[in-house]
A and B are shown apart, each in its own frame.
Chain A
Amino acid sequence: MRIDQSHRSWSLWALAILVLASAAYVPYALTTRPSGGSIPGLLYGIAGYGMMLFAALLGARKRVPVWRLGRSQTWMRGHIWFGLLTLPMILFHSGFSARGPLASVLMALLFLVFLSGVGGAAIQHFVPGMITSMVPLETIYEEIPHVREQLLAEAEARVRVLFTEADAGAAPESAEMIELETEDRDYVAGVYRNMILPFLQHPDGGASVLADGDRAGAFFEALRRKLPATAHATIADLESICEEERQLIRQKRLYLWLHSWLLVHVPLSIALIVLGGVHAVVAWRY
């Protein structure tokens, strides 16, 4: 989610809550030793845990997208801003210290969840724009393998006007074939089989010259210089196919950034909620 002007009211409310909580904490910390078991400490803990629970409910909310439970973006904004408030609330609750192994683990988890959440928010703020500008030919993620198959088939079809598999220096087989010197035909066949085809078949390998836009540009420029003008249109087609392939690689990479942080944030959040609950029960009973 892009954090922009539309978050102004949420940010002001969050700031107000933070100021109030801090204002209440200062006299409390000055007059007594802050602890989670004290009344103010318990209130901070309940508020902090409540905010955690609310933030965690976003996942459940997403599972029922058409339920009229409030717009999803409202839940998301609540998730972000209440999530941010969780850290100071829990710090006020604990008095900025963690006593005992469970509390230490919880504190570590809280920091990890907080950082991964802030990191995730930052990623989701910037990466969508990057995808939009860097991947103009973006496709549906699940369609990428299919699009790759199509690109490969298209390249195979395009290149057939330059040479055929059976062709070993023989004369052109069909009227559509471009006439090339035998040497040029062998050259372009070699380049296709050794450079372009492996890249299109295994694009995620990363080692190919064609995986890099600048180097690929130079590569195709050299190919154009080597071959006669009649073959340039086909070379341009192959170049654009490779460019589309590079965009798919970029899309996969950016999508990985866009969503992989959740692999850290979500499990840690669940652990935090569960252990937080355990901590509350244990503290209440003992």
Chain B
Amino acid sequence: MSRGSLPDAVDPRGAGGAPVNQIELTIDDRTVTVDEGTSVFDAARIHGIPIPVLCHQQNERPVGVCRVCSVDCGERVLQASCVRPAEQGMKVQTNSEKVKKSRRMLIELLMSDHPSPCARQRKSGDCELETLARLEGITAPRFPKRVSPRGQDDSSLVISVDHEACILCDRCIRGCDEIRMNDVLGRRGKGYNAGIAFDLSRPMGNSSCVSCGECMVSCPTGALTNKSVIQTVLPGGEPVAVPELKQLPFFQRVSGTFLELNANAVIKRHFKAGEIICREGEYGSTAFYILEGTVQIFLATPMAHVSTFGGATGFFSKLTSRLTGGDRHRAGADHPRSISIDASVDLPYDNPVAELGPGELFGEMTCMNLYPRSATVRASTDCVMFEMLRNVLDVILRNKTLRSELEANYRRRALDDHLRTVPLFASLSPDFIESLASRVELIRLSKGDVICRQGDIADAFYLVRIGFVKVTEEHPGGDLVRAYLGKGGYFGEIGLLTNGLRTATVSALDHVELLRIGAEDFHDMLERFPTIKRDLTAVAREREEQNTRHMAAVTGVSLNSFLAQGLMEANSLLLIDLEKCTRCDNCVRACADAHDGVTRLIREGLRFENYLVATSCRQCRDPLCMVGCPVGSIRRRNSLEIVIEDWCVGCGLCAQNCPYGNINMHPFEVMLKDLTAPKQVKAVVKRKATSCDLCSEHAEPSCVYACPHDAAHRVDPNQFFKAYSGIKTTERA
């Protein structure tokens, strides 16, 4: 029997749809006539005789697993009516004492394992099992509940899975495999461990599930429920009727039930030319799909660093913080060709403006990862677009047709730019990029997915398109985070260039999309462009050397509290010797004096013996501040210092992410073009993130320089505490 077809015995039409014989049987003392091959359940249903059931529904092949529909056909045992074909002259009792007793027992047994009220019962009061139990008058089952919990799975953005509420009726499995032909759902385990599984028992959100919603609408209990967004009403738009949505290729393969359940999660919005659609730095939770019109996407923030001014050589020079733009770039910073944003295009650094048109999607990273907006978007012409919440976007992005459309757009418009974002690839010829465009693979990953593992065979080179990945190196004492890479970051070259094995494990920190260049194409590229090979080899060597240095630095320090306080993660610490410090706060005043009255250090923090680890940037080895920057403006130099680039949009996410509170938001009043009246300028307060810059214009940080008591020191913690532990050991001896 092939999957997707009803068993011959219960196919009401018979083979090939040819006319079938009629048969006569008696159900509950009523004589009824049905087509030959009709099941007893259908025969009763057609004639208005209700038989309770859980595992069967009309659009699915009956399997007879729940046995709730059991009836007495006058045979030795009761028969599941959904799979028992009706026969000529059959006498069926659906409500005899024997049947009722059996049904009641089954429901009671099922209820003993069911978390009552389940999610569905709580939400809509229509859990089929609990409804049956109520009708049967079952309140508290006599049997004990299972002791081993089966757990919940909340990984999907759209559907909540409660394995505890699952009655193993398999309706979801048949819905997924036979109705939608997605073949994602199946069974796992045996006996008490039996349950439904996605792919090879992966979390639903990480599986190949396309979130069509069929399993959810098939489920009779609260095991699969919609993560409701009914309360979320997107402002300023008009709700879109499901039929209208279904006419668009974009939504054609999305379950209508799902769209109905999420009616408020997608709206149509109209923007007049010149109207601002979203602003950089603002927090949002939606993505936009352009139906009509074009939009201009740009950075309104002044391209400027917060710089400390004042001559390092001037005897009486006073330091001040100012926004400095123009040709002034940070020492050691590469001049970027473009700025990565949350759209299918990058913005040119020298003129950060781009246009998007119909069929383009923007705001994907904000929507999926709840990051701040990376750019300001203004309607160039009158526009119509869909604004959608994360669960809708997730469903859409799982749609293969749409994905291939978006990917084609990306390959056509942004791949070239994206590849060239990596300075090393700037010299690639257009024809090579064109040939590469058809061969690179776009990979989509969920939070926690491992992209490659240390020790695996290196088979590809990766570029980050959306989201953030974490690069960790495994060591016997634990993992060492080597880097966080955001859009424009790349990895995998060391393995391909050296011994063919991965030297680190790379995993997705959130919703991530990567550009995968296979090993063959990668080597082909290196052969054709020797300069790229030379530069990549140099970068690989430099990264290896850095790793060796880091490892040398973190080994040999055995101070427990040093490790416990996470100080080994720091690259540079401002330590205050409390035995010497007279609490005069000259360090804080000096810092404030050096930075426009806004101090970047607070004389408070963790204590390590007689040292205070002041609240000031630690230049962490695991720089959490870098995760989520929507424009990738916070980065680290090769010397590991954290720097904030001049295109910082002032969203403040880095300040929120810093676990030590060491990043401040610095307000500046600047004159900018009025976005609503282009011919006018207006004063606006723009924020830029600032963290300790080590007063890099000077030989020594101001806080240390100004301490009259030799109490403040900027130190490499590993060297310092290694020496310190040596002194302590000597003292103890």
Q: A and B: real partners? A: yes
Of chain B, the residue at the smallest CB distance from A142 is B585
| Interface bits B523-546 vs A (CB < 8 Å: 1, else 0) | 000000000000000000000000
B589 engages A67 (CB within 8 Å): no
Cβ of A73 within 8 Å of any chain B Cβ, yes or no, is: yes
Name the 9 nearest CB pairs between A and B, nearest first: A65-B706, A65-B590, A76-B708, A72-B708, A132-B578, A1-B709, A2-B580, A66-B702, A73-B710
Is A68 within 8 A of B582, CB to CB? no
Contact B586 A68 (CB under 8 A): no
What is the minimal beta-carbon distance from B310 to any residue of chain A, in angstroms?
7
Q: By DSSP majority rule, is chain B's interface helix, strand, loop, or mixed? A: loop
A-B contact pairs, 16 of them (CB 8 A): A1-B582, A1-B709, A2-B709, A6-B710, A67-B315, A67-B317, A67-B318, A68-B312, A71-B700, A72-B586, A73-B709, A76-B708, A128-B578, A128-B583, A132-B579, A258-B582
> Known contacts A66-B319, A128-B582; can you find 9 more A-B pairs with CB under 8 A?
A58-B708, A62-B586, A64-B593, A65-B590, A66-B702, A68-B698, A72-B705, A128-B581, A139-B604
* B709 and A76 contact, CB distance less than 8 A: yes
Interface check A96, CB cutoff 8 A: no
For residue A54, which residues in chain B have a CB less than 8 angstroms away from its CB? none
Q: Does chain A have a CB within 8 A of B610?
A: yes
Against A, the Cβ 8 Å flags (1 = close, 0 = not) of B584-626 are 0010011001100000001110010010000000000000000
**Docked CA distance A258–B709 (Å):** 13
**Contact at B315–A69, with CB atoms within 8 Å?**
yes
Most buried by B among A67, A71, A127: A67
B586 touches A65 (CB 8 A): yes
Cβ–Cβ contact B581 & A73, under 8 A: no
Known contacts A124-B582, A131-B583, A258-B582; is A68 also within 8 Å of B710 by CB?
A: no
Tell me if B315 and A131 are in contact (CB < 8 A): no
A58 to B582, CA, bound (A): 15
Bound complex: CA of A187 vs CA of B311, how far in Å? 68
Q: Which residues of the other chain, A, contact B590 by a CB distance below 8 angstroms?
A: 65-66
Cβ–Cβ < 8 Å partners of A1 in chain B: 580, 582, 708-710
- Is B299 interfacial (CB 8 A cutoff)? no
Contacts of A65 in B (CB 8 A): 586, 589-590, 593, 702, 705-706
Contacting residues, chain A, for B581 (C-beta < 8 A): 128
* Binary CB contact string for chain A from 120 to 150 against chain B (1 if under 8 A, 0 otherwise): 0000100111011000100111000000000
Residues of B near A68 (CB, < 8 A) are 312-315, 317, 698, 705
Q: Which residue of B lies closest to A4 (CB)?
A: B580
A-side interface size class: 20 to 34
**B252 smallest CB distance to A (angstroms):** 53
- Asked if A255 is at the interface of the complex by the 8 Å CB criterion, the answer is yes
The answer to whether A131 touches B578 (Cβ under 8 A) is: yes
Contacts of B589 in A (CB 8 A): 65
Is B110 among interface residues, defined by CB-CB distance under 8 A?
no
Is B316 an interface residue when CB atoms closer than 8 A count as contact?
Answer: yes
| Residue A192 interfacial (CB < 8 Å) | no
- Judged by a CB distance under 8 angstroms, whether A81 is at the interface is no
Minimum distance in angstroms from A193 CB to a CB of chain B: 33
Docked Cα-Cα span, A68 to B607, in Å, equals 30
Tell me the B residues contacting A by CB distance below 8 Å: 310, 312-319, 578-583, 586, 589-590, 593-594, 602-604, 607, 610, 695, 698, 700, 702, 705-710
Which residues of A have CB within 8 Å of B586? 62, 65, 72
Task: Say whether B708 contacts A67, CB under 8 Å.
Answer: no
Q: How far is the CB of B723 from chain A (nearest CB, A)?
A: 16
**What is the chain B residue whose CB lies nearest that of A254?**
B583
Q: How far is the CA of A249 from the CA of B488 in the complex (A)?
A: 54
Decide if A73 touches B583 in the complex (CB within 8 Å): no
Cα A62 to Cα B708 in complex, Å, equals 8
In this complex, what residue of A is CB-closest to B593?
Answer: A66
Quick check: A129 and B582 within 8 Å, CB to CB?
no
- B583, A258: Cβ atoms closer than 8 Å: yes
B578 partner residues in chain A, CB cutoff 8 A: 128-129, 131-132
**A128→B317 CA distance, assembly (Å):** 33
A140–B319 CA distance with the chains assembled, in angstroms: 26
Chain B residues closer than 8 Å to A128, beta-carbon distance = 578-583
CA distance A100 to B537 in the complex (A): 84
Task: Give CA–CA (A68, B319) in the complex, Å.
Answer: 10
- Distance in angstroms between the alpha carbons of A141 and B584 in the assembled complex: 10
CA distance in complex: A100, B395 (Å) = 98
Q: Within the assembled complex, what's the spacing in Å between the Cα atoms of A258 and B695?
A: 30
Does A220 make an interface contact (CB < 8 A)? Answer: no
A151-181 contact mask (Cβ, 8 Å, vs B): 1 or 0:
0000000000000000000000000000000
Smallest CB gap from A139: residue in B = B604
State the CA gap A61–B228 with chains docked (Å). Answer: 65
B580 touches A66 (CB 8 A): no
Min C-beta distance of A177 to chain B, whole Å: 30
Q: How far does the alpha carbon of A259 sit from the alpha carbon of B706 in the complex, in Å?
A: 18
Q: How far does the alpha carbon of A132 sit from the alpha carbon of B586 in the complex, in Å?
A: 19
Set of chain A residues within 8 Å of B602, measured between Cβ atoms: 140
Within 8 A of B (CB), among A176-224: none
**B583–A66 CB distance below 8 A:** no
Q: Hey, what's the 0/1 contact readout for A250-267 against B, CB within 8 Å counting as 1? A: 000001001100000000
Query: What chain A residues lie within 8 Å of B580 (beta carbons)?
Result: 1-2, 128
Determine the distance from Cα of A67 to Cα of B582 in the docked complex, in whole angstroms.
21
CA–CA, A124 and B700, complex, Å = 25
| Complex CA–CA separation, A65 to B604 (angstroms) | 20
Task: Pick the most buried of B319, B706, B707: most chain A CB atoms within 10 A of its CB.
Answer: B706
Distance to closest chain A CB from B182 (angstroms) = 47
Known: A66-B705, A72-B705, A128-B581. A140 touches B604 (CB 8 A): yes
- CB-defined contacts of A129 to chain B, threshold 8 Å: 578-579, 610
Min CB distance B50 to A, Å, is: 45
B616 nearest CB across to chain A (Å): 14
Q: Which residue of A lies closest to B705 (CB)?
A: A71
Residues from chain B with a CB closer than 8 A to the CB of A259 are: 582
Q: Which residue of chain A has its CB nearest to the CB of B589?
A: A65
Could you tell me which residues of chain A, from 40 to 66, have a CB within 8 Å of some CB in chain B?
Answer: 58, 62, 64-66
How far does the Cβ of A142 sit from chain B's closest Cβ, in whole Å? 9
Binary contact readout A96-133 vs B (1 if CB under 8 angstroms, 0 otherwise):
00000000000000000000000000001001110110
Known: A1-B582, A128-B581, A128-B583. A136 touches B607 (CB 8 A): yes
Question: Which residues of A in the span 68-98 have a Cβ within 8 Å of any Cβ on B?
Answer: 68-69, 71-73, 75-76
- Least Cβ–Cβ distance between B322 and chain A, in angstroms: 15
In the complex formed, the residue of A with least CB distance to B699 is: A68
Note all chain B residues with C-beta closer than 8 A to A255: 583
Q: Kindly report which residue of chain B lies nearest to residue A69, judged by CB atoms.
A: B315
**Contacts A66-B702, A132-B610 known; A73 to B603 CB distance under 8 Å?**
no
Closest to A67 in B: B316
B603 to A: closest C-beta gap in Å:
6
Q: Do the beta carbons of A2 and B579 come within 8 Å of each other?
A: yes
A123 to chain B, nearest CB (A): 9
A140 touches B603 (CB 8 A): yes
Residues of chain B within 8 A (CB-CB) of A76 are 708-709
Determine the distance from Cα of A72 to Cα of B590 in the docked complex, in whole angstroms: 11
- With a cutoff of 8 Å between Cβ atoms, the chain B residues found around residue A131 in the complex are 578, 583
In Å, the complex CA distance between A71 and B604 comes to: 23
